[in-house]
């Protein structure tokens, strides 16, 4: 094992992070190679800087004028668009994202957690977590209604075992009891659990009471000696449409809750800032009793896995996002307008579904947030999906042949009722 990896492992020894690291995670480190030496030279090499493989002129990267001139004159320096980004992302963006996390999650105030690391989108962040913390023999717990990419990332890449629990109780609330039963039954007394709120595919966020119950249940398991890594996939964070919905991340409740709980927040600018194609995600770590040196060691392992996969993440996207967040004239207004529109579509959809109450063909799963809603299907969801596409030119998503997902975020408000009617009509045709 490399000496730098050994040093990081010694720093993390005895912590919950140490207990959760995969073999790859233990071997991982951030090398004092080209990137680290280039960063050091950037601060001290005032005479000549012959470290990094980037063509420069006059202290700025060379560039294609056809690209640079697409931007308003003097809006960005060439280095803000064309140079490599630091391995962990633009330091100013990382600091601002952390600051905004506390604004969005007031209970984080005064708590200690890591500086977010920039990833190439949230999916990349989850894949990094799989590499660093999951391997064959480990168990990942997820709800039975979850994003299909979880299985691809955690089961087919790492060969981990995936166990599920029913997302909903019979009454339609979050199934805290079912979650606890699955976790408590894991014989190793160690598990990773991945929760996504608002949920994809269902659009469900626990109520404030349910979210606290989730946190309390995980803490009670930790107090019983179970070691837990709790991954919060906050891809749709902020899109909450009901008063009783929890509006703070589970990470905020768990990042200092118990030494046996390792909380990880995977979020992104993707939906929160409406920059889907920019591919800017963030990873943030938190656990009780971790100190700054240990957070630094953890981030260095993360930087190492980024370095060995994508090297560094998109520079122009980070610069554009940072500028908007810092000084955008319409930044807050545009975000608020989008949220208002999404809530309007949500309420229109709720009203449209009332017309079909009592149908045994399609039963809407409870939803209160996010971009989606989903139906429990009486017949084959794939058969219905194909019938909708071929007969009505309507695109929906089939999940495991039992669930049909509608992304109402991409349907204009005045067309939502028509969409719902067509889906129910097609179900009657496809399954009768």
* 187: CATH: 3.40.640.10
Contacts of 389 (CB under 8 A, 6+ apart): 395, 396
Query: Burial letters for 356-394: b for 16+ Cβ neighbours within 10 Å, e otherwise?
Result: beeeebbebbbbbbbbbbbbbbeebbbbbbebbeeeeeb
Query: Do 248 and 386 share a domain, yes or no?
Result: no
> Residues 403, 361: contact at Cβ < 8 Å?
no
Total of domains in the chain: 2
Bond before 198 cis per omega within 30 degrees: yes
Query: Do 302 and 374 share a domain, yes or no?
Result: no
Average pLDDT over residues 66-91: 92
Distance CA 120, CA 310 (A): 8
Six-digit token string for 51: 């470290």
Full-model pTM: 0.94
Q: How confident is the model at residue 19 (pLDDT cuts 50, 70, 90)?
A: very high
H-only helix segments in 45-82 = 65-68, 78-82
pLDDT of residue 157: 92
Query: Do 281 and 374 share a domain, yes or no?
Result: no
Q: Is the dihedral of CA 92, 36, 118, 133 positive or negative?
A: negative
Give backbone dihedrals phi and psi of 365, rounded to 5 degrees, phi first. -70, 150
Query: Do 148 and 166 share a domain, yes or no?
Result: yes
Six-digit token string for 372: 């989606």
Q: Is the dihedral of CA 69, 71, 72, 77 positive or negative?
A: negative
Average pLDDT over residues 50-63: 82
Q: Is the dihedral of CA 66, 67, 73, 77 positive or negative?
A: negative
* pLDDT tens, residue by residue, 265-276: 999 999 999 999
Give backbone dihedrals phi and psi of 404, rounded to 5 degrees, phi first. -115, 125
306, 327, 348 - which closes a domain: 327
281, 310, 327 - which closes a domain: 327
Q: Identify which of 14, 7, 55 has the alpha carbon closest to the alpha carbon of residue 31.
A: 7
Average pLDDT over residues 57-85: 91
Q: How confident is the model at residue 432 (pLDDT cuts 50, 70, 90)?
A: confident
Average pLDDT over residues 241-247: 97
Does 80 reside within a domain? no
Contacts of 80 (CB under 8 A, 6+ apart): 315, 316, 319
pLDDT of residue 54: 80
> Is the predicted pLDDT of residue 45 greater than 70, yes or no?
no
pLDDT of residue 170: 96
Q: What is the CATH number of the domain that holds 394?
A: 3.90.1150.10
312, 327, 342 - which closes a domain: 327
Query: Do 149 and 110 share a domain, yes or no?
Result: yes
Does 147 reside within a domain? yes
Does 175 reside within a domain? yes
pLDDT of residue 89: 96
Paired residues of 283 in beta bridges = 117, 266
Query: Do 275 and 366 share a domain, yes or no?
Result: no
Query: Do 255 and 316 share a domain, yes or no?
Result: yes
Domain that holds residue 193: 3-30+85-327
Percent of the chain with pLDDT over 90: 90
Query: Do 118 and 238 share a domain, yes or no?
Result: yes
Does 43 reside within a domain? no
Six-digit token string for 169: 């109780």
Distance CA 430, CA 389 (A): 12
Does 44 reside within a domain? no
Q: How confident is the model at residue 254 (pLDDT cuts 50, 70, 90)?
A: very high
Paired residues of 261 in beta bridges = 228
Q: How confident is the model at residue 47 (pLDDT cuts 50, 70, 90)?
A: low
pLDDT of residue 57: 86
Does 268 reside within a domain? yes
Distance CA 54, CA 374 (A): 48
Query: Do 237 and 262 share a domain, yes or no?
Result: yes
Query: Do 235 and 314 share a domain, yes or no?
Result: yes
pLDDT of residue 36: 59
Q: How confident is the model at residue 329 (pLDDT cuts 50, 70, 90)?
A: very high
> Is the predicted pLDDT of residue 38 greater than 90, yes or no?
no
pLDDT of residue 11: 97
Is residue 302 packed enough to be buried (19+ CB in 10 Å), middle (13-18) or exposed (0-12)? buried
* pLDDT tens, residue by residue, 363-372: 999 999 999 9
Gyration radius of the chain over CA positions:
23
Give backbone dihedrals phi and psi of 131, rounded to 5 degrees, phi first. -70, -45
DSSP of 407-424, one letter per residue? EGGGS-GGGHHHHHHHHH
Q: How confident is the model at residue 42 (pLDDT cuts 50, 70, 90)?
A: low
Does 161 reside within a domain? yes
Query: Do 376 and 303 share a domain, yes or no?
Result: no
The Cα angle at residue 350 between residues 349 and 355, in degrees rounded to 5: 95
Query: Do 145 and 166 share a domain, yes or no?
Result: yes
Does 46 reside within a domain? no
The mean pLDDT of the chain is 94
pLDDT of residue 32: 77
């Amino acid at each position: 094992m490399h000496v730098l990896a050994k040093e990081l492992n010694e720093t993390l020894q005895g912590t919950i992070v140490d207990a959760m690291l995969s073999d790859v995670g233990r071997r991982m480190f951030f090398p004092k190679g080209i990137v680290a030496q280039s960063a050091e030279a950037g601060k001290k090499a005032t005479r000549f800087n012959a470290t990094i493989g980037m063509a420069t002129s006059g202290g700025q990267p060379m560039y294609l004028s056809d690209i640079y001139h697409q931007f308003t004159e003097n809006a960005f320096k060439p280095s803000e668009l064309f140079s490599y980004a630091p391995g962990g992302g633009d330091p100013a963006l990382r600091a601002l994202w952390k600051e905004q996390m506390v604004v969005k999650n007031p209970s984080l105030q005064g708590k200690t957690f890591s500086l977010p690391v920039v990833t190439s989108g949230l999916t990349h962040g989850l894949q990094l977590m799989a590499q660093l913390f999951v391997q064959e023999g480990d168990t990942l717990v997820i709800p039975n209604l979850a994003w299909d990419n979880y299985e691809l990332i955690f089961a087919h890449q790492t060969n981990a075992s995936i166990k599920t629990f029913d997302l909903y109780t019979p009454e339609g609330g979050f199934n805290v009891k079912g979650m606890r039963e699955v976790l408590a039954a894991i014989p190793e007394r160690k598990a990773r659990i991945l929760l996504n709120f608002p949920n994809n595919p269902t659009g469900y966020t626990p109520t404030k009471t349910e979210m606290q119950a989730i946190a309390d249940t995980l803490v009670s398991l930790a107090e019983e000696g179970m070691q837990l890594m709790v991954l919060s996939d906050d891809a749709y964070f902020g899109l909450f449409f009901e008063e009783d919905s929890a509006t703070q991340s589970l990470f905020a409740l768990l990042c200092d809750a118990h030494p046996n709980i390792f909380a990880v927040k995977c979020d992104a600018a993707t939906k929160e800032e409406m920059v889907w194609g920019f591919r800017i995600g963030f990873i943030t770590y938190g656990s009780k009793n971790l100190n700054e040196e240990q957070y630094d060691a953890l981030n260095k392992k993360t930087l190492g896995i980024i370095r060995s996969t994508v090297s560094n993440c998109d520079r122009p996207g980070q610069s554009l996002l940072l500028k908007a967040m810092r000084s955008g004239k319409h930044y807050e207004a545009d975000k608020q307008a989008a949220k208002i529109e999404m809530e309007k579509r949500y309420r229109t959809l709720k009203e449209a579904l009332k017309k079909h109450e009592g149908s045994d063909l399609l039963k809407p799963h409870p939803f209160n947030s996010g971009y989606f809603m989903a139906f429990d299907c009486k017949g084959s969801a794939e058969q219905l999906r194909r019938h909708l596409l071929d007969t009505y030119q309507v695109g929906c998503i089939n999940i495991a042949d039992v669930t049909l997902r509608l992304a109402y975020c991409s349907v204009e408000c005045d067309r939502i009722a028509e969409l719902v009617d067509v889906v129910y009509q097609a179900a009657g045709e496809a399954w009768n």
